Amino acid sequence: MASSKRGAFIVIEGLDKSGKTTQASILHDRLQDQRDAGATAPKVVKLHFPDRTTAIGKMIEAYLHSESELDDRAIHLLFSANRWELASTISAHLAQGTTVLADRYSFSGIAYSVRKGLPYEWCRAPEVGLPAPDLTLFLNISPEVAATRGGYGLERYEKEEVQKGVRQVFDQIGRAVQEHGEKGEGKWVEIDAGKTKEEVAEDVWNAVEPLASGVQGSISGLWE
């Protein structure tokens, strides 16, 4: 890896049951294999948001399990704070040349809360300035197909009508990111997540490979 390169920040987004966690794991292993092969490939770390291990993450988990009720704005800010808790860790990894994979990020934050009726700009505001992804892979699946994948669990948002609304907001975010270009938001690539696991993994890899050895330039703040 050239010393001027920093690590790439890659985000995987999508509805519940779109295969994000599976694909993040396959991608992580593939990047790790590259490194194990002795090449000068970057280190790689994988994160999942919400990170349920922190004090804030535990409050989020209680909410998702319907063990607590919170005002829509309060839970929105907790999800955002949960990302801010890890912001400096993400930036440090990237600066050290480590590739960072995140299973969900700010786009989920906006999509799930706008679906509840909160204003888009209000939802976006607390995300501004977080480390900006270089690439967001949106695993695109219809809410109907997602609902057939092993069924939903018991968590708060795992209902087809909720997912339909979330999907609409994701579409709006994707269009906005694609229209604004890459500055401060990174690139948004839609992946057809209705294909087989192996096919999706291949499409994911094709999008990620150009960034797999690191990227040039400093880390920007999201929407800055």
Report yes or no: 44 and 78 within 8 Å, Cβ to Cβ.
no
User: In the complex with ligand DGP, which residue's Cβ is closer, 6 or 17?
Assistant: 17
Q: How far apart are alpha carbons 152 and 10 in whole angstroms?
A: 26
Q: Shortest approach of ligand DGP to residue 25 CB, angstroms?
A: 13
Interface of this chain with ligand DGP, residues 34 to 63, rule: CB under 6 A: 49-50
Provide the 3-class DSSP secondary structure of residue 180: helix
Q: Shortest approach of ligand DGP to residue 134 CB, angstroms?
A: 20
Pattern 61-100, ligand DGP, x by CB under 6 A: ---x-----------x--x---------------------
Q: How many CB atoms lie within 10 A of CB 136?
A: 25
Strand partners, 188: 136
User: In the complex with ligand DGP, which residue's Cβ is closer, 42 or 50?
Assistant: 50
- Residue 109 touches ligand DGP, criterion: CB under 6 A: yes
- Residue 108 touches ligand DGP, criterion: CB under 6 A: yes
Give the residue, chosen from 33, 36, 144, 155, that forms a contact with ligand DGP under the rule CB under 6 A: 155
Please count the residues of this chain forming the interface with ligand DGP, following the rule CB under 6 A. Answer: 14
Stretch that binds ligand DGP, among 35-43, 154-162, 172-180, 198-206 (CB under 6 A): 154-162
User: In the complex with ligand DGP, which residue's Cβ is closer, 39 or 125?
Assistant: 125
User: In the complex with ligand DGP, which residue's Cβ is closer, 46 or 76?
Assistant: 76
Identify the CA nearest to 7 among candidates 108, 96, 126: 96
Q: How far apart are alpha carbons 145 and 189 in whole angstroms?
A: 20
Looking up tokens 């109907």, which residue turns up? 144
Identify the CA nearest to 190 among candidates 203, 172, 202, 180: 203
Q: Shortest approach of ligand DGP to residue 31 CB, angstroms?
A: 20
Q: Shortest approach of ligand DGP to residue 124 CB, angstroms?
A: 12
Identify the CA nearest to 222 among candidates 106, 131, 102, 110: 131
User: In the complex with ligand DGP, which residue's Cβ is closer, 173 or 212?
Assistant: 173
Residue 23 CB partners (closer than 8 Å, separation 6+): 12, 137, 139, 193, 197, 200, 201, 204
Residue 116 CB partners (closer than 8 Å, separation 6+): 72
Q: Shortest approach of ligand DGP to residue 57 CB, angstroms?
A: 10
Residues that bind ligand DGP (CB under 6 A): 16, 49-50, 64, 76, 79, 104, 108-109, 112-113, 155, 157-158
